[in-house]
């Protein structure tokens, strides 16, 4: 068991009878998920993924990662939403947000195609000057505007640099198995392709080729990541009790908070290497539960940084939120606080104390202050900062999300709401077929 859930700081906000009463709903939702009998059951491939995956492709992922590591200085991962957040979350959690500045034997990794910023693309093009470059374009549909534009730009760069034949050795495509324009285009161009399985939605795809190829290029041990997720899947599938399963406890408390009228769940970390993990979690819960006028708004903070900004609101603002804190137990980076003769800052009482201990003490003090201010806290403690433990945590959140969505009464595996902006954008940009909407939107913008 790589993680535990401590409910000491939320218990007092929930009546014992309410926790007991939600058990039957959770058992039913757990059964629905495990038996694939609920809405969205066509998208449950992720449940057994840590064990039931394409072993041939998994081998090719490792080989491609080795090839990429040897042949480039800069590796660009092109994708948006579920097609990039998982890999970025894992790489930054286990390597560092400052990965590209570290001394290492793997390429610098950049993420592109996750916005429509000309500035970002131009900067990355500049970074590529004089460097060897490989790209991995990831798009299940193959038609998402943001990655499609970035792919055009970097494909042109590679073809200019290496010629069409040279470029095809440096372009790796992760997309639908058979359908879609990107698959057809890649086969014709001779690019190596990997599969986004039909039955896995973007936000649940971190343990498919979508996440695994970039993660393997970063040097993270993908076997350990998968093993952590596999062990979590054994644990969480087998136990639906809110008393004994950390995962079901999490589902119970967040739904009880929602029913009490809380509108926001804030995911908290005390390490900035978790910032992208927070972003991955926000997509997972935001897209899965935010529909039909329902759902907790998933927000996130990095403490102690944000204690100097949003901390005020969490302590003292509108009482419509609760926090879920993810803490890593083992110290993975030692740095004792130095002694200073002058002691102008008065900190010599801490000389020789590990900075991590100070950080964890800040966490304890903050949790107590926040619960005193009326903000309940759930504490998830991860054993260590390893690929195994992170795989466990990813699966914890995915499984909890599936059960929680069913408890909430939504289909956790669709995302109808993300289409609205795309239709308007296409209409305003003059895409053929959108003429009527264009006129109406332009009238409203006047
Ligand atoms: O979770 C999702 O389905 C989305 O975030 C998609 O991953 C995102 O829109 C990218 O889609 P695609 O992979 O088709 O380019």
Minimum-distance ligand 1 atom for the alpha carbon of 418: 9
| CA 85 to ligand 1 centroid distance, Å | 10
Q: Which residues are catalytic?
A: 287, 308, 422
Q: Of all atoms in ligand 1, which is nearest to the CA of residue 81? A: 5
What's the confidence (pLDDT) of residue 422?
Answer: 86
CA pair distance 136, 276, nearest whole angstrom: 19
Q: Count of alpha carbons within 13 Å of 430, Cβ hemisphere only?
A: 0
More confident residue, 140 or 110: 110
For 328, the token pair is: 């890593």
Comparing C-alpha atoms, which of 364, 367, 391, 369 is closest to residue 377? 367
For residue 203, the CA-to-ligand 1 centroid distance in Å is 7
Tell me the pTM.
0.96
Amino acid 118: pLDDT: 97
Residue 181 has pLDDT above 90, yes or no: no
Question: How big is the chain, counted in residues?
Answer: 446
- Confidence at 143, pLDDT banded by 50, 70, 90: confident
Check if 82 has its Cβ closer than 6 Å to any atom of ligand 1: yes
Which ligand 1 atom is nearest residue 146's CA? 15
267: which 2 tokens?
């995911």
In this structure, which residue's CA is closest to atom 1 in ligand 1? 202
Radius of gyration of the chain (CA): 23
Residue 254 neighbours by CB under 8 Å, 6+ apart: 265, 296, 322, 324, 378, 404
Q: How many CB atoms lie within 10 A of CB 228?
A: 25
| pLDDT given for residue 416 in this prediction | 86
Question: Is residue 264's pLDDT more than 90?
Answer: yes
Q: Give the distance (Å) from ligand 1 centre to CA of residue 205.
A: 10
For the Cβ of 141 lying below 6 angstroms from any atom of ligand 1, the answer is yes
Mean pLDDT over 341-350 rounds to 97
419 pLDDT above the threshold of 90: no
Average pLDDT over residues 26-30: 98
| Euclidean distance between CA atoms 376 and 185, whole angstroms | 51
Nearest Cα residue to 89 out of 217, 332, 325, 275: 275
80 lines ligand 1 (CB under 6 A): yes
- What pLDDT does 355 receive? 97
Distance of CA 79 from the midpoint of ligand 1 (Å): 8
Question: What pLDDT, in 10s, does the model give residues 59-100?
Answer: 999 999 999 999 999 999 999 999 999 999 999 999 999 999
For residue 359, the CA-to-ligand 1 centroid distance in Å is 36
Ligand 1 centre to CA of 104 (Å) is 31
Decide if 246 contacts 126 (C-beta within 8 A): no
The residue among 400, 372, 282, 383 whose CA lies nearest residue 326 is 383
Out of 88, 140, 417, mutate this one to test ligand 1's pocket (max ligand atoms within 8 Å of CB): namely 140
Closest residue CA from atom 2 of ligand 1:
202
For a ligand 1 pocket test, name from 82, 112, 198 the mutation site with the most ligand atoms within 8 angstroms of its C-beta. Answer: 82
Of the residues 46, 78, 79, 83, which should be mutated to test ligand 1's pocket, given the most ligand atoms within 8 Å of the CB? 83
Residues 227 and 220 sit within 8 Å (Cβ to Cβ): no
Structure confidence at residue 420 as a pLDDT band (50, 70, 90): confident
């Amino acid at each position: 068991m790589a993680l535990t859930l401590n409910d000491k700081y939320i218990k007092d906000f929930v009546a014992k009878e309410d926790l007991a009463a939600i058990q039957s709903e959770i058992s039913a939702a757990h059964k629905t998920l495990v038996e694939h009998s609920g809405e969205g059951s066509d998208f449950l491939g992720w449940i057994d993924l840590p064990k039931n995956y394409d072993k041939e492709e998994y081998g090719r992922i490792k080989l491609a990662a080795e090839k990429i590591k040897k042949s480039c200085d800069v590796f660009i991962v092109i994708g948006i939403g579920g097609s990039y957040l998982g890999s970025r979350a894992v790489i930054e959690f286990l390597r560092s947000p400052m990965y590209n500045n570290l001394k290492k034997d793997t390429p610098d990794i950049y993420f592109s195609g996750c916005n429509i910023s000309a500035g970002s693309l131009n900067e990355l093009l500049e970074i590529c000057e004089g460097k060897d470059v490989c790209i991995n374009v990831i798009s299940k549909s193959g038609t998402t505007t943001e990655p499609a534009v970035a792919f055009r730009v970097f494909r042109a760069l590679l073809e200019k640099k290496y010629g069409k034949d040279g470029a095809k050795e440096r372009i790796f495509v992760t997309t639908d198995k058979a359908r879609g324009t990107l698959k057809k285009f890649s086969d014709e161009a001779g690019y190596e392709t990997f599969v986004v399985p039909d039955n896995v939605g973007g936000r649940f795809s971190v343990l498919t080729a979508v996440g695994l190829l970039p993660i393997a290029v970063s040097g993270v041990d993908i076997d350990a990541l998968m093993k952590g997720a596999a062990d979590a899947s054994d644990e969480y599938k087998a136990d639906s009790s809110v008393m004994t399963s950390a995962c079901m406890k999490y589902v119970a408390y967040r739904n009880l908070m929602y029913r009490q009228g809380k509108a926001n769940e804030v995911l908290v970390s005390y390490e900035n290497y978790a910032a992208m993990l927070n972003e991955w979690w926000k997509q997972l819960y935001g897209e899965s539960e935010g529909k039909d006028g329902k759902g907790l708004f998933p927000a996130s903070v990095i403490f102690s940084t944000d204690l100097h900004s949003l901390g005020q609101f969490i302590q003292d603002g509108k009482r419509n939120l609760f926090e879920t804190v993810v803490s890593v137990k083992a110290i993975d980076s030692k740095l004792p606080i130095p002694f200073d003769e002058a002691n102008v800052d008065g900190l010599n009482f801490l000389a020789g104390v590990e900075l991590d201990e100070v950080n964890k003490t800040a966490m304890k003090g903050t949790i107590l202050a926040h619960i005193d201010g009326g903000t309940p806290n759930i504490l998830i403690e991860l054993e260590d900062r390893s690929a195994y433990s992170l795989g466990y945590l990813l699966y914890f959140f995915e499984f909890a999300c599936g059960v929680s969505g069913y408890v909430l009464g939504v289909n956790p595996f669709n995302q109808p709401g993300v289409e609205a902006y795309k239709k308007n954008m296409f209409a305003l940009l003059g895409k053929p077929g959108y003429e009527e909407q264009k006129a109406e939107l332009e009238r409203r913008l006047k």
